Chains A and B, each alone.
Chain A
Amino acid sequence: MSGNGNGHAYKVVLGYGTCGIAAGATAVKEALEQEVESGGYDVDLDIAGCMGLCFKEPVVEIFDRDGCSVVYGDITAKKVPQLLEEHVGKGQVIEDWVVKKSEDPNACDGDFLANQLRVVLRNCGKINPESIEEYIEIGGYEAARKALTSMTPEEVIDEVSTSGIRGRGGAGFPTGTKWGFARKSPGDEKYLICNADEGDPGAFMDRSVLEGDPHTVLEGMILAGFAIGARQGYIYCRAEYPLALKRLDIAIEECHQKGFLGENIFGSDWSFDVKVKKGAGAFVCGEETAMMASIEGQRGMPKPRPPFPANSGLWGKPTNINNVETFAAIPWIIAEGGEKYADIGTEKSKGTKVFCLAGKVRRTGLAEVPMGYTLRQVIFDVGGGIAGGREFKAVQMGGPSGGCLPAEKLDTQVDYDQITAAGAIIGSGGMIVADNRTCMVDLARYFLSFTQDESCGKCTPCRIGTKRMLEILERICEGKGEPEDIEKLQILAGDIKDASLCALGGTAPNPVLTTLRYFKDEYEDHILNHKCAAGSCPALITLYIDAETCTGCAACVKVCPTDAITGEKKEPHVIDAEACIRCKMCLSRCPSESIIAE
């Protein structure tokens, strides 16, 4: 943005996405409003969606008249008076609280943002998502206006094809090709669906886009509807995203008022409207045939394909489904040109991808990087490496359908084909980082328990097969595994992949297969030696306190639910192995890391 966009001396923007609110942004908002009012500061207060700095929420960004900004992190209501007094009142930056400064993008944790390239998230955290005016001010809806008034649908599809963008929902299917199928499919009545179900555990990029920049998604849908010939769009968004739903409702209402949605939009003879359909939070409803069943009012269960949605989708009509992130990139592609998008990335994977960094990484949050970055760049340069200075062990990519890649794969490029060849998938962009305290058998067990719970139960291999795999993994984690279990897992996994109806079952064995591929020794250690080297599986470990380093602070005593820890004050403590239930509550409490699990 040039300038701070208004006549005030400063513009103060509070990160007000779900992550910010969860971290206490509502109290900060009240404090800001109160303080600005009572202090008489010359500022324009505003809110914005998630900036991706989840590890620093609540976040406040202050713009001066030149548009230079400073981002403060970990702001509390208590800090607000001092913040306004120093920065706005005296013009002094409070260096200790700074996350990032615009004139010095490499400062502090600014590496997190500096190493990114933001196309999809270009407006997130920058504009007020509840104001269409702010979106229009930065050029919003120009792409849609241009397309609807001066381009043919085929030209729009060509532009998208030129960009090379592939669907960001998981499968990575080329978007231009998909639109072409829907366009060519015969029929007057066609539908467009935006997949905002976002069911992968730990993934929140779609939520952040909807909360931070809902108009971009709507504009992408307007363009897609025009391109394929659909007059009605649906956004299928899970009910657990109340803020996203609220902002979508506001955005759709604003569009109606502006004539961007409804009859004869942008003064053209094209009509397009969007309805929001709330999902009940079933992972399987992210699968397109299950989603369409759900929109139709049936139980969300997948159906065999073919027929594909482009031929027979919602209510039997030709239908095109894309992910939130895919739609969010479309206005940029139409505005800037497909070629510019294609300049970013690798030969077969173009553009940028938003990743959700989570797990044992130092800086968690959203990271949008160009395709072609290596995993090492994403995890270490953007994410800042492993929290607590521990050792990197693996990264689970693509959520429960994806796979686990070990340290020797860190130089793999973020590219659909390379990641798939390594045994994982890009998927929707989940990256869960594991350190040497993470047990890989347990990690596989966790993901499988998720898919088993979320299986719709329709087909035999997924419903019973993943259950039996899970039970084998549970036995291994309990030290009751048998040597033949490994082969049994492998064979059953293969049959489940081949025989499942939809990709939920078809990919459910992947976390097991990749951990078996890269960390087979851990499985064997559990089965043959009854040991969990990561010190994670409760049945296979004992906890004890290192008397050398224990300071006797008694922090552990307070959390132990069975009173298994005893000791004099300031003297080394001991754990009664009999009484200890190995819940590991004490482990994270010890400030001197004296508690050892082996």
Chain B
Amino acid sequence: MEQIKVEIDGLACEAPKGSTILDIARANGIDIPTLCYDPRLSPYGACRLCLVEVEGARALLPACCAKADDGMVIQTTNEKLERIRKTLVELLVSDHPMECQGCSKSGRCELQRLADKYGITESSFTGEVHEYDLHRENPFVMRDYNKCIMCGRCIRICREVQGVGVYDFVNRGFKAVPGTPYDRPMQETPCEFCGQCISTCPTGAIKARPYEDFGRVAALDMLRNACAYFKMPEEDMMKALGLESWVTRTTCAYCGCGCQLDIHVIDNKIVEITSPVMVGSGQGNLCVKGRFGYDFVSSSERLTRPLIKKKGKFEEAEWDEALSLVAKKLGDTKKKSGPDSIGVLSSARATNEDNYLIQKFARAVIGTNNVDHCARL
């Protein structure tokens, strides 16, 4: 691919043609603040935090949208840019309920991070503040537009990644806000409750309802607030508190796609599932099952040990006993009625490797081609 050379804050950088200024800066360890940017989405240019100065350009350019040209000389920070960024954050804060202590996004909120960076606790601008009603009409997604910063990420992820398009902006000017068609509850729209909008919302405007509603959330909040308060990364805080790992990176077991999950655990219970952005095959995107289908894990009805029916009643057994029983019965059936009397059905929830083994087992061990898979249905 054709390479271009640019200079960012005095640093000579090289990048493939077509890269945005932001791409190149981040690839070279230069941080430019952003709010409406999410690498999963088309660039948008709305928050204006990422404005940079390009030598010879008529106006400041949004680094998230502007493609770099060969030979560009770019400044990502100077007195003017920082003043503008501070003004922008102050403007956002002037219409934001800064009650971070009670907000479960605290510690992860992109606005909070920027307000910290610019030392803003209170805006120097005062005036009208939005007072929207909370939307809590379904069990998955709750919306609090008083915290919305109009980045449009929810709209774009739903349209561009999910292909659904539940949201768009309504109204103009200060009154503009995202919404569903005719302000309908989400269950009356084509919403799939994938929670993708939750995953991209930079503030506490869209949150996962199960997570919000559980009492134990308070504990997690406390932890996150403590992290925010002491400006300590979560991991360090956990070490300080003697907790070994409360976020587990794993692979989603629902299908073979292999989306990466971060399982947030407190007190040995899952409180939320997120996905690391731009990591693994899912790139940070999840479906409704991966994101919300975890309550079975600590369900009291979940089977954790094999059961064997004895005298018409299921009784708990050891794995060895259960597996031996299955092997014996399969062997008996094969002897009595031939291998083709047995069929093997596997699952889309298993990995490709597991599915491979299952068919191998059917063909080589049992000796039948009766193999099928639920994803064929």
List residues of chain A with CB under 8 Å of any chain B CB. 282, 284, 299, 301, 303-304, 306, 452-461, 463-468, 471, 488, 491-492, 495, 498-501
Contacts and interface: CB of A to CB of B under 8 A. Distances in A.
Closest 4 pairs between A and B when the two form their complex, measured CB to CB: A457-B176, A304-B45, A471-B127, A464-B91
Given A457-B150, A461-B87, A466-B173, 7 more contacts: A304-B45, A455-B174, A458-B176, A460-B47, A464-B92, A488-B124, A501-B62
Contact of A495 (B84, B128, B176): B84
B322 interface: no
B110 interface: no
Interface of B: 43, 45-49, 51, 59-62, 65-67, 80, 83-84, 87-88, 91-92, 94-95, 124-128, 149-150, 152, 168-169, 171-177
Nearest to A452: B173
A463 B174 contact: yes
B91 A498 contact: no
Tell me whether chain B's interface is mostly helix, strand or loop, or mixed. Answer: loop
B45 A464 contact: no
A460 B47 CA distance: 5
A463 B60 contact: no
Given A303-B45, A304-B62, A282 B94 contact: no
Given A304-B66, A457-B171, A501 B127 contact: no
B79 to A, nearest CB: 13
Contacts of A491: 87
Contacts of B84: 495, 498-499
A301 B174 contact: no
B174 A464 contact: yes
20 contacts: A304-B43, A304-B62, A304-B66, A455-B173, A455-B174, A456-B176, A457-B150, A457-B176, A457-B177, A460-B88, A461-B88, A463-B174, A463-B176, A464-B91, A467-B173, A468-B125, A498-B59, A499-B60, A499-B84, A501-B46
Contact of A468 (B46, B49, B65, B94): B94
A460 B45 CA distance: 10
B150 A463 contact: yes
B264 to A, nearest CB: 31
Given A464-B95, A495-B84, A454 B173 contact: yes
Nearest to A449: B173
Nearest to B60: A498
B21 to A, nearest CB: 12
A344 to B, nearest CB: 29
Contacts of B87: 461, 465, 491-492, 495, 499
A459 B65 contact: no
Contacts of A500: 48
A458 B174 CA distance: 10
B169 A499 contact: no
Nearest to B95: A464
B60 A458 contact: no
Given A452-B174, A499-B51, A499-B88, A457 B169 contact: yes
Contacts of A463: 150, 173-174, 176
A595 B91 CA distance: 43
Residue from A299, A455, A461, A464 with most neighbouring chain B CB atoms (10 Å): A464
